[in-house]
Structure formats: C-alpha cells, structure tokens
Amino acid sequence: MRLEKISIQINNDNIINSLDLKINSGEIFVLMGPSGSGKTTLLKGIAGLLPFASGKQTWENGTGTTGLVFQEPRLFPHLTVVENIAFGLRVRGISVKERKAMALNFLKNLQLESLENRYPHQLSGGQQQRVSLGRALILNPDLLLLDEPFASLDTSLRLDLIEWLYELQRNLGFSILWVTHYIDEALSVADRIGIILNGGLQQIGIPSELFQKPASEKIAQFLSLPNRFSRGQWRKWFQYELNGLQTQDRGWIDPKHLQLIDEGNRSGEGNIEEAACIISGFVTKVRPSREGYSITVLADSKSLEVNTTGWKRVPKLKEKIRIRVPFEHIHWYSE
Amino acid sequence: MSNGWNEDGWKMWRINELGHQINKHKGLLGILPALLFMLIFFLGGSIHSVTLSLESQPVHGQQDQFWAYKELLNLSFFRSVGITVGMAAAVAVFSGVTGLLAALLLAERFRQWKWLQIIFQLPIGIPHLLSAYLLMQVFMQSGWYSRMAYHFGWIDSFESFPVLVHDDWGIGVILAYMWKEVPFIVLLIYPFIVKLISDWKETAMVLGGSFFQTVRWVIVPILLPMWVGGMWVVFAFTLGAYEIPALLAKTSFGSIPVMAFQEYSQFGLERQPLAIAMNLVLAAISLLVGCLLIYLQLGWYKKGRRVW
Amino acid sequence: MVKRKRAQRILIIIFIILFSLFFLLPFIPLTVWSFTKQWPWPLLLPEKWSIDSWKYLLSASGRAGEGIVNSLIVAALTLMGNLLLGIPAARTLAQYEFRGKMIVFSILLAPLFIPYTVSIMGMFDFAIRFDFINDYISVAIAHLLVTLPYFVATIWFQFRLIGRKLQEAAISLGANEWKIFIWIEWPLLLPSILLGSFLVIVISFSQYLPTWIMSGGTLLTIPLIMFPFASSGNSSIVAAYSLVFFVPILVLMIMYYLLLRINSRKHFMDRR
C-alpha cells in the first residue's frame, strides 16, 4: 500500500501534513511518535474513518482492505466470542451457519478454543485483545492497522502477545502497520520503523539504522538516546580535531561503552589509544541496574550516563571519577 | 500482667470494630427516609386501599365483603380492561419505536441543531391535560387542521374531515399520548444513544458495518433493557392516566381510569370501593407485565450476557 | 445506490419536519383562541378579536392568580421533599453495595412502573383520619410520591457518572464526609439537580388526579381550575389558562438553561 502526499484535517487543523508512506506486502512497519504526533489520526485515515483532505492512497493490486485494532479491545458486550469474531462476516452477508463455522475454525489461530460461548466480560484482558485481533483478521485484510494494541496490558502478557502475533503474521503473511510507543516492542517485531513528528514522517529505516543515524536531534530526543552532545563539546573533551563529516554536528554514545577508570590503577592511563579521551567529573546519582550500576556523572557542567558491570565496586555520591570515552563508539548525526 | 494488657487490647479492638461497623453502614442510612416514605405511602396506601375496598356494605340487604369485585365480574368490564390495556400497549409501542427513531436521527444527523432538540423535548413541560386540549383543538372535525385541509381544497365540509377526536378507535387519545410520550422516550434514551454511537460506530465501521447495521446489531441490542424499561413506564402511566381519555375519548369508550374516577368522585362514598377495585386491577396488570419483563431479562443475564 | 441514498435523506427530512410540526403547530391556534370568542369553521384566523377571556382570567372569579399560587406552593413543598429524601437515597444507591439493593431500588422507582392511583386513594383516607394535616402538605406528599422516582433516577445517574474516585482522592487528602459532599459532589451534581428539580416542578404542576383525590377536589391548582372549562369546551378560556400555565414553565426552562450556563462557566472541568 502506498500513501502519497496525504493530509488529514480535524476541525480545520492539519493533523497529518503531506505524508508519504509505502508498506510492502508481508512487512511489519512500526510507526513511532510522541503523543499528539498524529499516529492515531493517520491510522484512522488509512482505515477510512477520517477523510483525506488531499493526497491519494493506492494498492499494489488495485484495491485492498484494512483492519483496525484499537488499544482497548472494544468487544461488543452483548455478543459472545464467536459472534464478535463473526461480526465482520455478518456484515458481508454470510449465512449464520457458515460464519459460525469460519469463526470457530479461526479460534485455533487465536488460541481461544473452548471459549467460544463466553461473553467479553468473562475473558481476561489478553484474551479480549486476541478476540479483537481475530475479529479484524478473519476478514483477511491486506493491511492490519494496530493502534498500540497491547499498551494497556502488563509487561509479561504484552511480550507473550507480541511474540504470538509475530508468529501469526509470519504464518499468514499479511502486512501490519503497527503503532506503538514502546521501543522494545518496535525492535522485536519491526521490519522497518518510521518516526512521525508533528504530522510528518521524519525518518524511515530498518531498526539498526535508526539508532546509528537518527535523522535529527528531535528524533534522538524522542528515542531518548543517552549522552548526546554537540561536536564542539566532544572536541573540547578530545582536545583535537575530530574525523568525520562536519555536517554531522552531534554525537551520542551508549552508557555501556563508557568505562570508569580506577584511581588505584593508573597504569591504564598511559595506554590511551589515539581514539579515546578521558573525562573527569564527579558522581551525582547512583542507581542499580540489571548488570551493575547506572551512574550519572557531572563533567564540565554536562551530565553523562555511565553503566558499570559487576556489583563489587560501589560508586559513591560526589566521588571524583574519570571516564574513558572510545571514539569509535560515538554515533554521529546531524542536528 | 501480659494477660491484662491483652484484655485491654481486646476491648480496644472491639470498640474499634464497633466503630468500624457503624462507619461501614453509616452510608446506608441515606436510603432510609426515602425507602420509609415509599413503604408507608405507596405500599401502605395501596394496602389501605385494598382494605377499604373490602369493607362490607349492605348490598340488597346482604353483607358482602367482596361486592365491589363481584360487580366487576362482567363482560363489559372485561371489554374495558381489554381496551384500556390494548390502548396503553399501543401507546407504549408506538411511542417507543418513534422515540427511538427520532433519538437516533437527532443523535446522528442533527446533533448540531440544538433548536430541533428543544422542539423534540418541548412537550415534556406541558401537562397531559393541556396536551389533550391542544390536540383536541387541532384534530377536531372543526379544528385547525380541518380548516387547513379546507383551504388546501382537500375537503369542502368539515364532516368530510376524518373523525379523530371522540372516535371509535381512540386515535385522538393515542395521538395525544404520543405527543407527550415520544419526547419522554427521546429524553430518556438520547444521552445513551449519543454515547453508544460514539463508543461503537467506529468499531463497527472498521469491520465494514453500515450505520443501519450498527444500529440494528449493536446499538439497539445494548440499549434494549433501557428502551423496554422506558416503554414500560409509558405503558404503566397510560394505563392509569385520566386526563387524556377523559377529554378525547368518547363517553362509551370504556377507559378504566375514567370510569373509576367517575365512580370515585360522582357517585358517592359507597361507590368508592368500586373505584379502588378498578384501579387495583390496573395496578395488578402493570405489576404482572413488569414481572414478565424482569423474568425475561433475568433469563438473559443468566446466559452470561451483561450489557451495562 | 445514490438514488436510494437520496430517497432515504428525503424520507428522514420529511419525518423530522412532520414531527416538528406535530409538536409545534397546536400552539398556534391555542394562542389565537385566547384572543377571540368566535372563530367559525373554516376560517384560518378569526375575524373578531377580543380579550374577554384574559379579562375573565384576571378577574376575581377567574382565579388564575389563586391557581398559580396554589400550584407554586405545592410544587415548592414537593421539591423540598425531593431534595431532602432524594439526594441521600440516590447517593447511597450509587455508591454502596448491599444486599437487597435491587429490591430497595425497585421500591423507590415503583410509582413509575405501577399506576399509583390506588395508593393515593388509600393515602387520602389516611389523611382524612388525621384531618389536622394541611391540604397543601397532603397534596405535596402525593406529588412527592409521583415525582420522587424521576428525581432519584436523575441524581443516581449523575452520582454514578461521578463515581467514587474523586471521593477517594478527597478522603486521602483528609476531607470528611460532609466536606466531600459540599466541596466535591454538590458542584458536580448541580446540573443534574437542576434538571431533576425542573422535572419535579413540571410534573407537580401538571398533576390532576392526585391533586383532586388528595384534596377532595378542593385545592384549586391550575389543572383543577382548567379541567371543567376544557371538558365543557369553552375554548377561549382554556386557551388563555393554558398560556398562563406556560409562563412558569418557560420561566423555569430559561432559568434552568441560565443556571446551567453559569455553572458550566464556573467549571473548567467541562472544557477540555
């Protein structure tokens, strides 16, 4: 499916502004963006719930259908599981018997066998959301639109359902436009990720690209990339002219690549390779993390995040500290 | 020593527990005045009425406790029951269906047209007595609509305008009731319809459903208990109301509230038990219909369906 | 397809127009009738106008003033009863779970679902046994019986919408029951209390049978004054009375909307 120069207005406000997007068949495209960026509006537009003010929508095979699943399951409270799943078939005028058989058959895919005669309020949250997905999927949509489908579920259930839906998608082969604000969710399913800010797609790419080369500071900020500083600041620390494109005027580095240098072990200092520098500062915050400690260090009135591995050496507050920054691990991007 | 301490603790705990119990049930006190009021006046009044209607009076020289009820055991009263109940049912169903239709249209098509909603709710403020009079002076053979029909050239004498007031079928009565009850149903279900549309329209549309299908398969089923409840209120009201049939039905129509009030107010104290007995029959019928509706709804819930 | 859609549209518009006319048109000849005594068929408007009916109405024998005063007194008493009994009852029903709740609720709403004439006849008999009870009060009690279900249902619904969350927040901030009601529930409740009160007054105004029975036909509220004219077919006078009747209702309606406006202006909560 392809969108060209799409704009959507609500109350004369441009929510989506001349947006281009192409989704390949069989692909999971994850759309991320802060709240208010127009994600839901875009989905509703594609699903036909909101009119396009301009632009056009085309499909590879001429026409295509979509299914939309909302954050809340929105199951019809007066209908059983089977009746809910068969609702779309009923709209298409398929006879009671036939649609019931189809729906019962489909329950297997949803891992909901034996729950067919339950009413929504008798199901758990995860089961409800599976019914909701099934209700859309049984219509064989060419493109499934998911609006933060698992956001209201707790973490472990969310991970299970993501895994389940991923398997289902790889088996059935439909394409998905998946809106989420969880980075881990995006990374675990996405073939490509798009970032939407202020009603326009700012960057599209495979997941690894996104982190290595965020297209702008705004995107880096949205992805909450740590230790982002301007080239000038880095230059001050490295104290020599840095390689690389000068247009890429910002760089970030992952906390786990920053190393604490032990004051007792000064021998390492002499070993500084060309592509690294040492920053000294003092500890302002210490938090335990999964692998060790997460430390905030104040150096030259800038805050740096540093991860240490191992639990033995506990950094103390206000302790003076030195950090080694390897140049090769800094990712450069433009403002 | 430690024992004494424990006992003190035990007492404290009991006092706390008592306070807790009082606190827990304090909120329930709020219901008492209203509940007592209804029990004393509604239930008590009814029971007192029944005892009044059973006061024996010498009829043809004989003491008979049940004379009022025996007097009702005749064909013409059964006919009246049929007519009164049938008319109430007709009013309830017509008003229910029209009210639903109007509420749906107002909610979906004309939500911005505030004045239209005011028009559709205007009759709520008009008493039944006035609605009867208002409709009488337009629907009579010499009424305003008949004059309009004459000016449009549809009729040339007022005899050729259809008889709608004091007619054989109670058409005027039904029209007057609908004038009052359609707005009541609209007032009752409109907010729910607005909410149901905003809740379910998108979901049904995403699955391909048209608005009509959404209404038939989603909105009406979810609304059903409330809608039927509203129709029951209309039914019960129409069953017991006096003003409209008194003004718009012909004398021999046989509306029980009219007959009962005549007995009550015009034929002296000794006929009052008869009036009470008549009204009691109506109350019993409404109660019976209500029990049936509640039974049906309970059956629904037993299957696990829950809507609100 | 397009044709069907257009036919549908036209049908809808006809339906809406017909119903609007059905509701509105009767008011026109009513107004006309109040200003004429003779209006022979088939004239659309009378040839001779007169204000005799209005003169009669405002004269001592017309009793319009007395009727309005009586109606207002009864309505005010009824409203007071509703506020006193209805608000706490609705609050309990909305916020507490207890055994037999459905039964209690059904009893409170019973007059909606079961014709109440029987109980009012019984109540009248009570009342004449305690004949020191004032007519106004006994009639107001009958009206309270009729109106309380509407009032409780309206307020109950609003209490349910408010929910207990704000209350819990207030408790956690140390407010007591009474303060919670005054500071939190009352302002949020006000629109529905206004609507409920409007309903109560309008319903109380329009009662004929309960008023007649409870007062033995002696307390002349407007419906009781009007009824004989209406059934004897004196169109002009009935029309004038009807218009008089609309005045308090219109005033109430305007007051309701104004109060609602003021209230919603005060609440930033509603405008998000």
Q: Which has the minimum average pLDDT: A54-63, C11-20, C80-89?
A: A54-63
Among A222, A256, A272, the domain boundary falls at A222
pLDDT at A267 over 50: no
CA atoms of A76 and A89, how far apart (whole Å): 15
Residue given tokens 């028009």 in the structure block: B119
- Chain B residues whose CB is inside 8 A of the A70 CB are 203
Instruction: Check if C226 contacts B (Cβ < 8 Å).
Output: yes
In a domain, A227, yes or no: no
pLDDT at C22 over 50: yes
Q: Which residue has the higher pLDDT, A184 or A266?
A: A184
- List the single residue in B with minimal CA-CA distance to C138: B41
The Cβ-side half-sphere exposure at B102, using a 13 Å CA radius, reads: 30
What integer pLDDT is reported at residue B217 of this predicted model?
A: 92
Is C238 within 8 Å of B132 (Cβ atoms)?
A: no
Size of interface B-C (CB pairs under 8 A): 237
Is the domain of A123 the same as that of A213? yes
In a domain, A56, yes or no: yes
CA atoms of B226 and C94, how far apart (whole Å): 17
Residues 6+ apart with CB under 8 A from C47: C38
Nearest alpha-carbon partner for B45 in C103, C141, C205, C133: C141
Positive/negative CA dihedral, A226, A230, A235, A237 = negative
What integer pLDDT is reported at residue C143 of this predicted model?
A: 95
Q: Choose, out of B207, B211, B222, B228, the residue to mutate when testing the contact with A (most A CBs < 10 Å).
A: B207
What integer pLDDT is reported at residue B67 of this predicted model?
A: 78
- Chain A residues whose CB is inside 8 A of the B221 CB are 78
Is the domain of A210 the same as that of A247? no
Nearest alpha-carbon partner for A322 in A276, A253, A274, A275: A276
Q: Which has the minimum average pLDDT: A227-231, A314-318, C68-72, C88-92?
A: A314-318
Is C257 within 8 Å of C70 (Cβ atoms)?
A: no
CA atoms of A5 and B137, how far apart (whole Å): 63
pLDDT at C231 over 50: yes
Distance of CA C52 to the CA centre of its chain: 30
In a domain, A84, yes or no: yes
Q: Report residue A29 as tokens.
A: 């495209």
H or E segment to which residue A293 belongs? strand A292-299
E strand segments, chain B: 57-59, 62-64
pLDDT in tens, B7-19: 666 666 666 666 6
Q: Tell if the CB–CB gap between C104 and B52 is shorter than 8 Å.
A: no
pLDDT at C272 over 50: no
Is the domain of A268 the same as that of A129? no
Is the domain of A209 the same as that of A91? yes
pLDDT in tens, B84-107: 999 999 999 999 999 999 999 988
Strand partners, A32: A195
CA atoms of B210 and B204, how far apart (whole Å): 8
Nearest alpha-carbon partner for B99 in B179, B200, B212, B213: B179
Is A151 within 8 Å of A181 (Cβ atoms)?
A: yes
Output the DSSP codes for C48-93: S---HHHHHHHSTTT-HHHHHHHHHHHHHHHHHHHHHHHHHHHHHH
- Count of residues for chain B? 308
Mean per-residue pLDDT, C221-243: 85
Instruction: Check if B172 contacts C (Cβ < 8 Å).
Output: no
Q: Tell if the CB–CB gap between B27 and C95 is shorter than 8 Å.
A: yes
Instruction: Check if B206 contacts A (Cβ < 8 Å).
Output: yes
Is the domain of A184 the same as that of A266? no
pLDDT at B57 over 70: no
What integer pLDDT is reported at residue B177 of this predicted model?
A: 93
Q: Report residue A257 as tokens.
A: 């690549």
What integer pLDDT is reported at residue A238 of this predicted model?
A: 82
CA of C266 vs chain B CAs: smallest distance (Å)? 22
The Cβ-side half-sphere exposure at A178, using a 13 Å CA radius, reads: 29
What integer pLDDT is reported at residue C269 of this predicted model?
A: 46
Instruction: Check if B236 contacts C (Cβ < 8 Å).
Output: yes
CA-angle at B40, arms to B37 and B41, nearest 5°? 80
- What radius of gyration, in Å, describes the C-alpha atoms of chain A? 25
Is the domain of A217 the same as that of A109? yes
Instruction: Check if B125 contacts C (Cβ < 8 Å).
Output: yes
In a domain, A91, yes or no: yes
What integer pLDDT is reported at residue B301 of this predicted model?
A: 76
What integer pLDDT is reported at residue C83 of this predicted model?
A: 95
Verify B-A touch: 3 or more CB pairs within 8 A.
Answer: yes
Is the domain of A198 the same as that of A284? no
E strand segments, A70-152: 143-147
What integer pLDDT is reported at residue B86 of this predicted model?
A: 93
CA of B161 vs chain A CAs: smallest distance (Å)? 47
Most confident option among B26-30, C161-165, C204-208: C204-208
Among A194, A222, A250, the domain boundary falls at A222
First to last CA, chain B: 58
Q: Which has the minimum average pLDDT: A237-251, C64-78, C84-98?
A: A237-251
pLDDT band at C204 (very low <50, low <70, confident <90, very high): very high
Mean per-residue pLDDT, B178-186: 93
% of residues, chain C, pLDDT over 70? 96
Verify A-C touch: 3 or more CB pairs within 8 A.
Answer: no
Among A189, A222, A255, the domain boundary falls at A222
pLDDT in tens, B123-137: 888 888 888 888 888
CA-angle at A231, arms to A225 and A233, nearest 5°? 90
Nearest alpha-carbon partner for A81 in A109, A139, A123: A123
CATH for A107: 3.40.50.300
Residue A300 sits in which domain range? 232-333
CATH for A322: 2.40.50.140
What integer pLDDT is reported at residue B193 of this predicted model?
A: 92
Domains of chain C as residue ranges with CATH: 60-266 (1.10.3720.10)
Is the domain of A130 the same as that of A189? yes
3-state class of A38 per DSSP? coil
pLDDT at C271 over 60: no
- Chain B residues whose CB is inside 8 A of the A91 CB are 204, 207-210, 213
CA of B1 vs chain C CAs: smallest distance (Å)? 38
CA of A231 vs chain B CAs: smallest distance (Å)? 49
- Smallest Cβ distance to C29: which of B39, B110, B137? B137
Instruction: Check if A96 contacts B (Cβ < 8 Å).
Output: no
- List the single residue in C with minimal CA-CA distance to B125: C202
Cβ under 8 Å to C: B residues 59-78: none
pLDDT in tens, C112-155: 998 999 999 988 888 888 776 788 999 999 999 999 999 999 99
pLDDT at B182 over 70: yes
- Chain B residues whose CB is inside 8 A of the A47 CB are 206
Size of interface A-B (CB pairs under 8 A): 53
Q: Which residue has the higher pLDDT, C223 or C175?
A: C223
CA atoms of A334 and A212, how far apart (whole Å): 12
CA of B188 vs chain A CAs: smallest distance (Å)? 21
% of residues, chain B, pLDDT over 70? 87
Amino acid at B167: D
Is the domain of A211 the same as that of A259? no
Q: Tell if the CB–CB gap between B203 and A90 is shorter than 8 Å.
A: no
Q: Which residue has the higher pLDDT, A250 or B22?
A: A250
What integer pLDDT is reported at residue B4 of this predicted model?
A: 47
Is the domain of A216 the same as that of A84? yes
Q: How many domains does chain A have?
A: 2
CA atoms of B63 and A239, how far apart (whole Å): 122
Nearest alpha-carbon partner for C199 in B119, B121, A72: B121
Mean pLDDT value across chain A: 85
What integer pLDDT is reported at residue B16 of this predicted model?
A: 66
In a domain, A112, yes or no: yes
Instruction: Check if A155 contacts B (Cβ < 8 Å).
Output: no
In a domain, A175, yes or no: yes
Is the domain of A50 the same as that of A151? yes
CA of A126 vs chain B CAs: smallest distance (Å)? 19
Q: Which residue has the higher pLDDT, B3 or C160?
A: C160
CA atoms of A293 and B133, how far apart (whole Å): 85
Most confident option among A78-92, B235-249, C74-88, C216-230: C74-88
Nearest alpha-carbon partner for A83 in B197, B217, B296, B193: B217
pLDDT in tens, A284-329: 988 888 888 888 999 888 888 888 887 777 778 888 888 888 888 8
Is the domain of A15 the same as that of A153? yes
Amino acid at B51: T
Distance of CA C134 to the CA centre of its chain: 23
- Smallest Cβ distance to B48: which of C126, C226, C246? C126
Q: Tell if the CB–CB gap between B233 and C84 is shorter than 8 Å.
A: no
CA atoms of B154 and B176, how far apart (whole Å): 24
List phi, psi (to 5°) of A19: -105, 135
Residue given tokens 């419906």 in the structure block: C223
Cβ under 8 Å to B: C residues 137-176: 141, 144-145, 148, 152
What integer pLDDT is reported at residue C76 of this predicted model?
A: 95
3-state class of A307 per DSSP? strand
- Chain B residues whose CB is inside 8 A of the C108 CB are 34-35, 38
Mean pLDDT value across chain B: 84
List phi, psi (to 5°) of C62: -75, -30
Instruction: Check if A70 contacts B (Cβ < 8 Å).
Output: yes
Instruction: Check if B195 contacts A (Cβ < 8 Å).
Output: no
